[in-house]
Structure formats: structure tokens, C-alpha cells
Amino acid sequence: MQKWIRWQGLGVFVGVVALPCIFWFLFIDGIVKGVIQKYGSEAVGAKVELRSADLSLFPAGLELKGLKIANPDEPMKNAVEIARTNLNFDTLNFFRRKVIVEQMTLDGIRLNTPRKTSGALPGATPKKRATKKGTIRPGKKKGLCGGKGLPALKMPNVTEVLSKEKLPSLELVTSLKGQIEQEKQKWQQRLASLPDEKTFQSYKGEIQKIRGGGAGIAGMLASGGKAMELKKKIEADLNRIKQANADFQKETSTLKQKLADAKKAPFKDAARLAQKYGFSKERLANMSQVLFGAKICTWMEKATNWYEKIRPILERAKQKKKGKVVVKPLRGKGAFVKFKEHNPMPDFLIKKANASIITGAGDIMGIIKNITPDQDVLALPLTFSFKGDKLKNINLVEAKGALNHTRPQAPKDEIRFLVKGFKTKGISLLEKSKNPIILQKALADLNIKALVQGQDIKVNVLAAFHSASFSVKDQEGKNPIMEAIFSALKNISNFIVNAKVIGTLEEYDIKLSSDLDGVLKKSAGKIIAKQTEQLRQKLSKAIMDKVNGPLSDTAGSLSGLNGIQQELSKRLNLGSGLLGNLGKPGGKKGLKLPFS
Amino acid sequence: MIRMIARLLKVLNSESEPGQVSLAFCFAMIMGFTPLYSLHNIIVILLVLLIRVNLSGFLLGWAVFSGLAYLLDPLFHRIGLALLTASSLEGLWTALYNMTIFRLENFNNTIVMGSLFLSLVLFIPLYIVLNLGIRKYREHILAWVQKTRFMQAFKASKLYRSYQTLSGWRG
């Protein structure tokens, strides 16, 4: 036995085991600090800095001081700064490799604080939003955010409008002229194919011959037969001319109608263009979209961005192998296969976090419960509740919500945000316009309800403003429409704006309505109607100037068809006269031909 | 490299029992194949220090098997995954999964399971083969090798001097 056992080895073993423990107590805090900074920075895409970390095992806990997380999109700002973070772990679960935080305290949270040095990581670019299915792509927004642009608040220049637009009236006149010329040619060819004066002269000669025909009964019978034959020929020719005349009448009547339409066309063009370029009443009816749309769109984009940043905390990638859940491994580190637990607990859970956010207006206190990426294991949603009252410029701010991912295939997140008595100051509306309208001051009450189910989003924003006053920066000199809108806004002190966002996180539509719309429509409507009518008249005149020349030419061409009409009438008269003469007695023998 | 060969020769030629040398290599295989920070490795270290195995052989074997483990990681992962997802063993794994000590052991990691399983399976066969090999080497090859001209020349070389230096160390 003694040959195989070396008892002094036991002492060495104790030394070997003690060494890492000593190392732990001496260096673990520095290691934790380094790990948080390294992996935090990698995850955020910007610098994560920590002043100190203190890890203890009995009782298990961690205290972080001076945590600063830089904003990857604005490196000279910290997205979040937390003065002190204290976590108490469940020791037993900690040894089972489960981080279960019973209580977490976040003291002195500050958002968007300035940095002295850049928080950008060397060589790193701001993180783009993922493009795979189920995640956000950069702003493809319908409606307000789709870049429809603000309507022009001044009447456009007529010359500019006409240089941009094609005029159907001018095209109509030009094509009509071509059509008339074609008709002219066609009728000249048809006239040539019809019996003319020569033809009728030859018939006249034949009649003379028949009248001077043979004497006696036999002679008279022969003349009668010839006369009948000639009569039929003349009647057939006359019918051809009559048919041509009827066709001609019909076609000229159509052309005259088209000419009449062409004369009206410039006015139609003017009305259409005035509607398109003018500031119509209908557009005034959507003034709330124009005034608040861009702002709400920007807020929505920021909100969806933050939501996408938070969402991975609630869900993590898992795959199943033969029905077992396998958490994705790091390369070369293997994979962890999970089995059913008697008392299932997530790998990471913060049961309760108390947070105090320091804002310029005052402190906002809140509680967040059940922070875990494994809500399906915990079977409880993340809930949060923040409240701040009697703040500077805000009477009450409250945010409550539940992010429910307990069924990962059907996540449902609900957030409610309430603000009461918010004293707004200098909110610039129509920022992209040359005449920005400024909501100088107002007392606002906001009620926002947001629901995200999978990729579908539904948000309802109800904002009620009291004691409002507007001003306008008139950079373009006097503008009657702008003045009309502004004079209407001057008399408004209370108004409500309602925004409804419906769609998916990738593509949503914002619909805005407000009682401002009706007021603005009523107050500025008359001026707008007058302005639009002036524009229409100017456009009519300008279009007529362009169309008048070609129109006169076209009318002249149509008059040119009168010659054809005269020729047809002449031939009809000749034929009819000849047929009439055949019925009368003539010649020396006074023979009356049997035509009449 | 020279020191490595010298160490090997020292271990093989040492006064240690062949069983002590073989056992050292077998423990080294467990320690080298499985991830270092595994709970069972504390037991391996305790056994290596408590049982009179050849420490030089253990350290040499650990270095060799650790190197091999890098190449065999995909194999360990496959074996581990197959074992952990075998429906017949589900009850056993579930029971172990609910015990803190086994969670600390990381038994549900595919590489830990695969490498530990393979090294335990190979433990006894390797012990027998090495034991036999060392005995044969000492009986037949060692004396013959000592007499060869090559060995004479080798004894005069730098390599042998390294070996001599190391032979002063206690195994």
C-alpha cells in the first residue's frame, strides 16, 4: 500500500487547490471589470466603461460603480450612465451556472450624457439593423415617413409649371389638324372617283340623241328602251354622290365636334394643373399630418430602434436536437444540451430591479421584474412600471408595460405611456419647410398605447394640448396661404392630435387626425380658394397663348373642307337637273321620254 | 523537442514501475482530452498526487494529449451530442442535470461528455498496452539500444547531456 500511496501528495493537492482560490480573491474584481468592459463593448458596438467591480461569493453579489455605455450612433454621448449597480445572486443556483439575481438596484441612471472622449470602438462602425426576416431594416415607411413631402405653401410659378407639364389640349389640337388634313386628302380622292361634270355632259348628249331617234313605232320603242337604260345609269351615279354627301356630312360633323372640344381643352388643362399645384382645401384638411407627421415619424423610428435593441435580451437563439434544446455554442467550446428541470429556472434571471433615473426634470423611479432571455422557461413576462411626479415642467410621467415572450412563437409586448401637464416649449413643426411653424408653448397631456405582436405593430397616440401658442418663421416674405394658416393657428389654444400607427416593424403606416384640420380648413379655405382660382386663370391664359395659334390653323383646315361640300352639291344639282330634263318633252318631234 | 525526447527516455528508463508510468499516462489522457476547468480534473489531480504515479510521465502525457485534444474536438462533440441526446439515457441525464455537483461538472456540454467518455473507455486498454510496451522495451530493447554505436554516439551528444541533467530530477 505504502508503495502506491504518497501522502505528501495530499499536501501538494491542497496547495494546488488553494492557489486558484487565492488568485480569485486577489484578482477576480479586476477580471470581472475587464470581462464586462470587453464583452459589453462587443455587444453594444461602442465603449462600455466601468470604474470598479466588486464580486463576493458569500453572500453572492456584485457591485458595479460608474458604468458608462457609449451610444454607438453618437459616440460623443453615453446612451446610459449608471452610478451604482448592486446585484444579489442566489448562491446555490450560481454553482449550477445559473445567474439568478434576487434583487438588483440601479441607482443614478442618466440617459444621453455627454462624453469627454469618443465612445466609438477603433475600427468599428455603427451597427446596422439586421436584415434577416423578423428583424428591422432601415426605414421603409409608408405614408408620412415615405417621403411624400410637405405641400408647397405658396402658389407656383405658371411658366415653371408649364415647362414641367405636358398639355393634352395642345396635343389634341395638333392631332385634330392632322386628322382634318387626312380627311381632306381622302375626300379629294373620293371626289375623283365620283361622276363629275363631264360625265353628266356626256349623259346630256345621249339624251339628245335618244330624242332625235327613229320615227315610227319601232323607232319610238327603240328610243324608249335606250332612255330607260340611261335613266338607270344616271340614277345610280346620283345615288353614289348622295351617299358620299351623307358620309361627308357625318364626318365633318364629327370633326366640328372635336374642334369644339379642342377649344374647351385648355380650360380643362388649367383646372387640372391648378388642382395639382395649388394648395387645395383637401390638402388643408390633412394639415395635422403636415404639421406633426414628421415629428411623430422621427419618434416612431427612434422607438422601434430601441425596441429592436431590447428584443434580443428577451429571446436568444436556441435549436433543437432530437427534441432536446441545445443552446448555440461558441466555436470549439461545445454545445450545452438542456434537460428537464424539476424546478425549471432560466440561465439568467433578474427577479426584481429597482431603478432610479435622473433626468433634467427630476427623478423617475421604476421597477422591472423578470428580466430573462428564457421567458419560456420562467413562464412569466417581463413587466415594468416607472413613475415620476411633480417634475420640472411635467406634472406626471408614467410608463407601464409587459413584454411577454413566454410563448416565443407568439410574443406580445404591451406598453402604456402617460404624461400629464407637460409644458412644451419651442417645438419646431414643418422643420424642412422654408416657413417652419413653431409651437411656442403648450401644456400637453399624452397617452400612448403600443402593442407589438410578433412583427405587427399597433400604436395609438392621443395628445391633448392646452394654452397653446404658435409662431411662424417667415423666411420667404409674405405668403398669403402661410398667413392664412398662421392667423388661424393664432386663435387656437386647445387642440387634440391623434396618431395611429399600424403595420409591421419594418413597414408601418402613420395616420394622423386633429381638430386643427377643421379649424384650418374653415379659416384658410376662402383664401386658398381665391388663390387657386387666380392660379387657374393664369394657367388658362398661358395655355391659351400656347394653343391659340395651332387652334386657328386647325379651324382654317376645317373650313378648307367647305370646297369639297360645294363640289358635291354642284354634282348633285347637275345629276338631279339632268334627270328632271329627261322627263320633259323636247326636240322637233316633241317626243316625251317616259322618265317622270 | 530535444528536452521532450529526453524526458520520454528518462521516464521509460527510470526506476519507476511500468504500472506507475502507464497510470500516469492514463491520467494525463483524461486531463489532456477533457477541458481543463472541469470538476473531474480536480479528482484526477488528487489521484495523480496521492497515488505514486510517475509525475514526469503525467506532465509529458498531459502536454501530448492536450495537443491531440485540439484535433479531436469535433469527434468529442459528436460523441457527446450522441450520448446526451440518446433517448435511452435521457432519464439518467435528467437526474444528473438536477444535481448541482453535476451541473458544476458541465456534463451536459458535448465536448466535456465526449472527451470524458472516450478517455474513460480508453483508460484500461491504454494502461494495459502501455504497461506491456514498457516492459517489452525494458526487457528487450533497452539493453540492446545501450550497446549500439548509435547510442554510444548519442551518449556523447547534447541530447544525452539534457537527459543526464534531467535524470538528476526525482520522478
Local confidence band at B5 (pLDDT 50, 70, 90 cut-offs): low
Contact criterion met (CB < 8 Å) for A324 and B85: yes
Residue A6: list chain B partners with CB under 8 A: 49-52
Q: Which of the residue ranges A263-272, B14-23, B82-91, B135-144 has the most confident prediction, judged by mean pLDDT?
A: B82-91
Local confidence band at A105 (pLDDT 50, 70, 90 cut-offs): very high
d(CA B156, nearest CA chain A) in Å: 35
Helix (H, G, I), strand (E, B) or coil at A135: coil
Helices (H) and strands (E) in chain A, counts: 12, 17
Helices (H) and strands (E) in chain B, counts: 10, 0
Over residues A354-383, the mean pLDDT reads: 90
Distance CA A137, CA A302 (A): 13
Nearest 10 degrees: Cα torsion A509, A513, A516, A521: 90
Contact in structure between A78 and A112 (CB atoms under 8 Å): yes
CB pairs under 8 A between A and B: 84
For residue B54, the chain A residue with the least C-alpha distance is A4
Query: What separation in angstroms does the CA of A218 have from each of A123, A213, A214, A221, A227?
Result: 125, 10, 8, 5, 14
How confident is the model at residue A328, as a pLDDT?
Answer: 55
Pick the range with the lowest mean pLDDT from A21-30, A275-284, B117-126.
A275-284
Helical pair A216-277 and A168-193, crossing angle rounded to 10 deg: 170
How confident is the model at residue A21, as a pLDDT?
Answer: 85
How confident is the model at residue A149, as a pLDDT?
Answer: 42
How confident is the model at residue A512, as a pLDDT?
Answer: 86
d(CA A37, nearest CA chain B) in Å: 23
Residue B42: list chain A partners with CB under 8 A: 17
Distance CA A63, CA A56 (A): 9
How confident is the model at residue A324, as a pLDDT?
Answer: 64
Domain membership of residue A563 (yes or no) is: yes
C-alpha cell at A471: 409662431
Element of type H or E holding A395: strand A394-404
**Using one digit for the tens of pLDDT, what is the confidence trace for B159-168?**
667 666 655 5
Domain membership of residue A198 (yes or no) is: yes
Over residues A433-440, the mean pLDDT reads: 74
- Other Cβ atoms within 10 Å of A581 Cβ, number: 14
Given CA atoms A568, A572, A575, A577 in this order, what sign does their dihedral have? Answer: negative
Residues contacting A514, CB < 8 A, separation 6+: A287, A288, A292, A495, A496, A497, A498
Whether B80 contacts chain A with CB within 8 A: yes
- Other Cβ atoms within 10 Å of A530 Cβ, number: 12
Domain membership of residue A421 (yes or no) is: no
- Other Cβ atoms within 10 Å of A79 Cβ, number: 19
d(CA B64, nearest CA chain A) in Å: 19
d(CA B23, nearest CA chain A) in Å: 11
Domain membership of residue A186 (yes or no) is: yes
Contact in structure between B65 and B31 (CB atoms under 8 Å): yes
d(CA A335, nearest CA chain B) in Å: 5
Contact in structure between B21 and B57 (CB atoms under 8 Å): yes
Residue A342: list chain B partners with CB under 8 A: 98
Contact criterion met (CB < 8 Å) for A340 and B94: yes
Asked if omega into A59 is within 30° of 0 (cis), the reply is yes
More confident call, A15 vs A330? A15
Pick the range with the lowest mean pLDDT from A42-51, B27-36, B59-68, B143-152.
B143-152
Contact criterion met (CB < 8 Å) for B108 and A339: yes
Burial class (CB in 10 A: 0-12, 13-18, 19+), B158: exposed
**Using one digit for the tens of pLDDT, what is the confidence trace for A39-52?**
888 878 889 999 99
Contact criterion met (CB < 8 Å) for A5 and B51: yes
Query: Which domain does A188 fall in, by range?
Result: 159-281+545-583
Question: Which of A4, A10, A98, A321 to substitute to test the interface with B, most B CBs within 10 Å?
Answer: A4
Nearest 10 degrees: Cα torsion A428, A432, A435, A436: 0
Domain membership of residue A120 (yes or no) is: no
How confident is the model at residue A154, as a pLDDT?
Answer: 62
- Kindly tell me if the per-residue pLDDT of A477 is higher than 70: no
How confident is the model at residue A480, as a pLDDT?
Answer: 67
Whether B108 contacts chain A with CB within 8 A: yes
Interface of A with B (CB under 8 A): 3-7, 9-10, 12-13, 16-17, 92, 95-97, 321-322, 324, 326, 329, 332-342
Given CA atoms A406, A407, A411, A416 in this order, what sign does their dihedral have? Answer: negative
Distance CA A364, CA A355 (A): 8
Through-space distance between the first and last CA atoms of chain A, rounded to whole angstroms: 159
Distance CA A409, CA A254 (A): 68
Contact criterion met (CB < 8 Å) for B103 and A97: yes
Q: What is the residue whose three cell numbers read 520520454?
A: B8
Residues in chain B: 171
The DSSP code for A116 is S
More confident call, B112 vs B56? B112
Distance CA A364, CA A382 (A): 19
More confident call, A587 vs A408? A408
Question: Which of A14, A339, A343, A345 to substitute to test the interface with B, most B CBs within 10 Å?
Answer: A339
Contact in structure between A412 and A390 (CB atoms under 8 Å): no
Considering chain A, what percentage of its residues have pLDDT values greater than 70? 84
The mean predicted confidence, pLDDT, of chain A is 81
Over residues A448-456, the mean pLDDT reads: 92
Nearest 10 degrees: Cα torsion A150, A155, A157, A158: 120
Q: Where are the domains of chain B?
A: 2-70+122-167
How confident is the model at residue B81, as a pLDDT?
Answer: 94
How confident is the model at residue B1, as a pLDDT?
Answer: 59
Question: Which of A337, A341, A347 to substitute to test the interface with B, most B CBs within 10 Å?
Answer: A337
How confident is the model at residue B28, as a pLDDT?
Answer: 95
Distance CA A486, CA A480 (A): 10
Single out the residue of A249, A209, A234, A205 nearest to residue A577, CA to CA.
A234
How confident is the model at residue A314, as a pLDDT?
Answer: 73
Local confidence band at A144 (pLDDT 50, 70, 90 cut-offs): low
Contact criterion met (CB < 8 Å) for B104 and A340: no
Domain membership of residue A137 (yes or no) is: no
Distance CA A424, CA A421 (A): 9
Residues pairing with A399 in the sheet: A386, A417
Q: Give how many domains chain A has, as a whole number.
A: 1
Three-state SS for A341-363 is CCCCCCCEEEEEEEEEEEECCEE
**Using one digit for the tens of pLDDT, what is the confidence trace for A309-359?**
777 777 765 555 555 666 654 445 888 898 888 888 888 899 999 999 988
Residues in chain A: 596
Whether B88 contacts chain A with CB within 8 A: no
d(CA A130, nearest CA chain B) in Å: 30
How confident is the model at residue A156, as a pLDDT?
Answer: 78
Distance CA A301, CA A505 (A): 9
Residue A18: list chain B partners with CB under 8 A: none
Residues contacting A139, CB < 8 A, separation 6+: A145, A301
Contact criterion met (CB < 8 Å) for A96 and B103: yes
d(CA A351, nearest CA chain B) in Å: 21
How confident is the model at residue A148, as a pLDDT?
Answer: 45
**Using one digit for the tens of pLDDT, what is the confidence trace for A57-99?**
777 889 999 999 998 888 899 989 999 999 988 888 877 778 8
